[in-house]
């Protein structure tokens, strides 16, 4: 039985996934949030595949421990760049450091994520989910674009979520000041903002051979949401986790989208793990996408250099 288009993600999540033996030797891969969950597993998979990793993380000790593990387990050479994504100035500084060290970047994986049950604000006064998952990743991508162009053919992968289908996005209320805050909707909204802007990035960068795609990494066990109150943490640990998969599966899917040679030139697509899928129509409506991009650009403008 074929489900209606909006529900096909349920069938897609049960399909066999694609894998690749391709290697990433000599490739500079920038990845955010490798100290936990999907990012951590992906860092290991990329290191195993021979990539040179540049890990953008906020926690010095956790990042150093991952770096040490990659060196010991895979003999991998990697770099750590520190930035709290709740502070755009730190993200801009991290991008500057990366740009100075790596004139050519071949892969950028925007993985950092957060889920809040209650409204919280970033250092810059943005609603936390929107600020961290969308605006900070948008800023990093904008600032690293010249290096991605220099490394072309190169790829940008935005880690997203089927939760974008929850909706919640309002251009008139990005910070949830006018509506009652609902964590799942705020999470949906931030992912919708990422989808809109990814499609604009994809169109703009196609002629430069920088492929930009978006993916849902599966429903997997990780630390997301564990910053919330005790009841949510208990629910996640003892109930939700029973239904979630191993994040190593997400890492294998992300590796496929990052390394598979046959995907070169595929851009502007949404994947459920490795299966191409249509995202919710309202998350990629072209007229809105350009508005979301322009608004995001305006919000991060203080952190942009003239040449990017
Ligand atoms: N898990 C799932 O089922 C699922 C499903 C769909 C989509 N996703 C997406 O997958 C991505 C990874 O999430 P995950 O499930 O692996 O969650 P996770 O285990 O909580 O990992 C999140 C990563 O982001 C980092 N991070 C969070 N806030 C940050 C900040 N302000 N500045 C810098 N780094 C920050 C965390 O660093 P710390 O270690 O310092 O906290 C950690 O490395 C997210 O984009 C999420 O939306 C996850």
Q: Which domains does the chain have, with CATH numbers?
A: 24-302 (3.40.50.720)
Q: Which of 202, 195, 111, 192 is nearest to 148 (CA)?
A: 202
Residue in 74, 187, 232, 293 annotated catalytic: 187
Share of the chain above pLDDT 90, in %: 90
Instruction: Examine the residue annotation and report whether 187 is marked as an active-site residue of this protein.
Output: yes
59 CA closest ligand 1 atom index = 40
* Site to substitute for ligand 1 among 9, 32, 38, most atoms within 8 A of C-beta: 38
Q: What is the pLDDT of residues 43-57, one digit of tens each?
A: 999 999 999 999 999
> What pLDDT sits at residue 306?
63
Strand partners, 275: 272
DSSP letter at 25?
T
Cα dihedral across residues 273, 232, 223, 186: positive or negative: positive
> What pLDDT sits at residue 179?
97
What average pLDDT score do residues 243-253 get? Answer: 95
Q: What is the pLDDT of residues 172-226, one digit of tens each?
A: 999 999 999 999 999 999 999 999 999 999 999 999 999 999 999 999 999 999 8
CA-closest residue to ligand 1 atom 8: 161
Phi-psi region of 125 (alpha: psi -120 to 50; beta: other; left: phi over 0): left
CA of 36 relative to ligand 1 center, distance in Å: 7
40 CA closest ligand 1 atom index = 43
Q: Which of 82, 37, 18, 38 is nearest to 56 (CA)?
A: 82
C-alpha 23/C-alpha 255 separation (Å) is 10
Share of the chain above pLDDT 70, in %: 99
pLDDT band at 305 (very low <50, low <70, confident <90, very high): confident
CA of 10 relative to ligand 1 center, distance in Å: 23
Q: What is the pLDDT of residues 254-304, one digit of tens each?
A: 999 999 999 999 999 999 999 999 999 999 999 999 999 999 999 999 999
C-alpha 16/C-alpha 274 separation (Å) is 9
Q: Which long-range contacts (CB under 8 A, 24 or more apart) does 293-298 make?
A: 293/196, 293/197, 293/200, 293/201, 295/171, 295/174, 296/134, 296/135, 296/138, 296/193, 296/197, 297/142
> What pLDDT sits at residue 6?
80
**pTM summary value:** 0.97
The overall average pLDDT reported for the chain is 96
Q: Is the pLDDT of residue 2 over 90?
A: no
C-alpha 288/C-alpha 68 separation (Å) is 44
Length, in residues, of the chain:
308
C-alpha 250/C-alpha 274 separation (Å) is 9
CA of 112 relative to ligand 1 center, distance in Å: 5
CB neighbours of 136 closer than 8 A, spacing ≥ 6? Answer: 85, 86, 88, 91, 112
> What pLDDT sits at residue 7?
85
pLDDT band at 95 (very low <50, low <70, confident <90, very high): very high
What average pLDDT score do residues 68-96 get? Answer: 97
> What pLDDT sits at residue 307?
57
What average pLDDT score do residues 155-161 get? Answer: 98
Tokens of 223: 């630390």
């Amino acid at each position: 039985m074929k489900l209606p288009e909006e529900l096909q993600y349920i069938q897609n999540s049960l399909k066999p996934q694609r894998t690749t033996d391709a290697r990433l030797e000599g490739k500079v891969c920038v990845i955010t949030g490798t100290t936990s969950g999907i990012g951590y597993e992906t860092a290991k998979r990329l290191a195993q595949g021979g990539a040179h990793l540049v890990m953008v993380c906020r926690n010095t000790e956790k990042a150093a421990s991952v770096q040490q593990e990659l060196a010991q387990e895979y003999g991998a050479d990697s770099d750590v760049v520190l930035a709290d994504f709740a502070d755009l100035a730190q993200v801009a500084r991290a991008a500057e450091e990366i740009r100075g060290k790596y004139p050519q970047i071949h892969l950028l994986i925007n993985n950092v994520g957060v889920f809040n049950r209650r409204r919280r604000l970033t250092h810059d006064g943005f609603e936390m989910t929107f600020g961290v998952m969308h605006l900070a990743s948008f800023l990093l991508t904008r600032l690293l674009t010249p290096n991605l162009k220099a490394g072309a053919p190169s790829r940008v992968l935005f880690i997203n979520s089927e939760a974008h289908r929850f909706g919640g996005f309002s251009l008139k209320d990005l910070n949830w000041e006018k509506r009652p805050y609902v964590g799942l909707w705020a999470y949906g909204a931030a992912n919708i903002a990422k989808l809109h802007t990814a499609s604009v990035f994809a169109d703009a960068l196609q002629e430069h051979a920088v492929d930009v795609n978006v993916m849902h990494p599966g429903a997997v066990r990780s630390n997301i949401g564990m910053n919330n109150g005790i009841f949510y943490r208990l629910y996640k640990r003892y109930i939700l986790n029973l239904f979630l998969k191993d994040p190593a599966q997400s890492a294998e899917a992300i590796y496929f989208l990052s390394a598979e040679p046959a995907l070169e030139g595929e851009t502007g697509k949404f994947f459920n793990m490795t299966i191409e899928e249509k995202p919710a129509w309202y998350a990629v409506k072209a007229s809105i996408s350009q508005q979301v991009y322009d608004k995001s650009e305006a919000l991060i403008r203080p952190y942009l250099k003239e040449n990017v």
